[in-house]
Amino acid sequence: MDYMSAKSELEHRVPAIDWKAVAIEVALMGSALVIMMQF
């Protein structure tokens, strides 16, 4: 199986993930951790 067909297969299997929302959540969690460590 080549890369593109594997990628489209994965996209068909996981259509519900909103990558932008996931990235924002990860960024918020990371900045919260940094703030907590500074205190």
Amino acid at 5: S
Residue 16, pLDDT score: 64
Q: How far is residue 27's CA from residue 39's CA, in Å, rounded to a whole number?
A: 19
pTM for the full model?
Answer: 0.44
pLDDT classification of 34: cutoffs 50, 70, 90: very high
Q: What angle do CA 21, 30, 13 make, to 5 degrees?
A: 35
Instruction: Give the tens place of pLDDT for each residue, 14-28.
Output: 666 677 888 999 999
* CA–CA dist 8, 28 (Å, integer): 29
Q: What does the DSSP assignment read for 1-39?
A: --HHHHHHHHHHH-----HHHHHHHHHHHHHHHHHHHH-
